[in-house]
Amino acid sequence: MSTANWDLDPSMESTAIVQLQPKYDLFIGGCWQKPKSGKYFATYNPADESVLSEIAYGNQDDVNLAVEAARKAYNEVWSKMSGAERGKYLFRIARIMQEKSRELAVLETLDGGKPIRESRDIDIPLACNHFFYYAGWADKLAEAFPGQKPTALGVAGQITPWNFPLLMLAWKIAPALACGNTVVLKPAETTSLTALKFAEICEQAQLPAGVVNIVTGHGDTGAALVANQDLDKIAFTGSTAVGKLIHKACIGTSKKLTLELGGKSANIILEDAPIDQAVEGIINAIFFNQGHVCCAGSRLFVQESIASKVIEKLKFRLQSIYVGNPLDKNTDIGAVNSKKQLETIEKYIALGLEEGAEIFQPTCNLPSKGYYCKPTLFTDVAQSARIAQEEIFGPVLTIQTFRTLEEVVQKANNSPYGLAAGVWTVNGARIFGLSQQLKAGVVWANTYNKFDPTSPFGGYKESGFGREGGRHGLSAYLQFKN
Ligand code: NAD
Ligand code: MN
């Protein structure tokens, strides 16, 4: 079906390992409960537009029941349990996730469209590691914050996006539980299946009823969760537009809030950089997961003296990229998550042309069914162009040049966002200098999109506030008595 300069035989991952039910209810208080509205909605495989399952559409009544169940579990069980006992449950969950990692990886790819190579090697191992890591902190909170008497907040409402479904769930649930909170989580509507599998894992781990509740639904289900009066904390990852609505809804309440929002991250290549490694790094930074990455290196800044060479190498490399069925182990770029997202990306590509930028796409064929987008480069991009300013959330890279470090710092920071950045150079002093000056939560040097549960992640400016991961990630779920 693909594409590139050469043809590889397909190497398809089998889907036989995935056990799916035709219909999923809500996971509330340790039971599977029918939605009060009686409504269900379909979840699709974006690679071929087939229906995978039907999912319950939760409303305000369902959300309220879930929060009640979480409150009861908090008061009666979870807040009374020692950290060491909580840790044992988290370790057990992590081990079961690891045992089921192949099923989870295939399911993540089926429901979301990302290449199996990524869900198998990145999403699922990182999600398991997150549980292992926070399991280890559960009985060491006093040591993590000496003299500050850390205690749980209570019940957390958590809302996740579709780009890393199980990993974002792990970022939210693992630290919350380790700190002694109970949770109600609303996964994204296009990718709820691994969250529902996670509910089954909680059952298998015999996690006390109500500690984790999963309420599926659309944006209004998320809004209902935010509106509930009995939550102590809201944690949201998603778009800046929805983040602003949630921020407003929490003003004047006692809810604590963390927001992980959008990005338009700069990847900066200096003239002394090892060019071939940098080219691979640029490709990984923007085309990984179809560009559905909040911290994607979507703006490339190349020093003028090497610009034509870098652009030429990028075009050559793109010509050998495999776009196609995400279950094929050869695939580099899988399916865009939804029709709606594909339309957004296509709108931005048309806008780039209207704005006068020059486009390059490889000459690959796309599958005839499903939602696919060719990897796209734009050169001759003005700093003020909307394609260089707004988050596209797709496999589209804008390329600009610069002469001096002062100039690139100014251009890179001239963005409403500040989630991440990349710097490519062999000069250590320049790495330290630039990472001081770039207004971004993470600055990667000679690499990109590297994640680890021990390291905090989060943004500046309109990319949100609060940190997830590491010891910082614990403090988002604790209150301190001193
Ligand atoms: P989205 O904001 O539309 O949806 C995110 C979640 O919020 C979904 O579960 C959705 O159902 C829910 N939601 C929608 N409207 C809501 C409302 N009014 N109240 C409460 N909940 C509501 O975002 P998306 O399209 O799912 O994800 C893409 C966005 O997420 C991108 O902007 C991306 O940058 C961002 N993102 C950020 C990070 C990060 O860590 N900073 C990680 C992943 C994605
Ligand atoms: Mn889906």
- Ligand nearest to the Cα of 245, by number: 1
Nearest ligand 1 atom, CA 188: 9
Rounded to the nearest angstrom, the distance between the alpha carbon of 391 and the centre of ligand 1 is 13
User: Is residue 417 lining ligand 1, measured as CB closer than 6 Å?
Assistant: no
Report the catalytic residues: 260, 294
Q: According to the model, what pLDDT value does residue 5 have?
A: 52
Give the pLDDT band (50/70/90) at residue 184.
very high
User: Is residue 161 lining ligand 1, measured as CB closer than 6 Å?
Assistant: yes
User: Is residue 239 lining ligand 1, measured as CB closer than 6 Å?
Assistant: yes
Q: pLDDT tens-digit profile of 256-293? A: 999 999 999 999 999 999 999 999 999 999 999 999 99
Q: Which residue has its alpha carbon closest to ligand 1 atom 22?
A: 219
Domains of the chain: 23-261+463-480 (3.40.605.10), 266-452 (3.40.309.10)
Q: pLDDT tens-digit profile of 327-386? A: 999 999 999 999 999 999 999 999 999 999 999 999 989 999 999 999 999 999 999 999
Rounded to the nearest angstrom, the distance between the alpha carbon of 222 and the centre of ligand 1 is 10
The neighbourhood of ligand 2, an ion, using CB within 5 A, equals 43-44, 111, 190
Q: Which residue has its alpha carbon closest to ligand 1 atom 3?
A: 239
Amino acid in position 86? R
Q: pLDDT tens-digit profile of 439-454? A: 999 999 999 999 999 9
**pTM greater than the 0.75 cutoff:** yes
Give the pLDDT band (50/70/90) at residue 4.
low
Q: pLDDT tens-digit profile of 284-330? A: 999 999 999 999 999 999 999 999 999 999 999 999 999 999 999 99
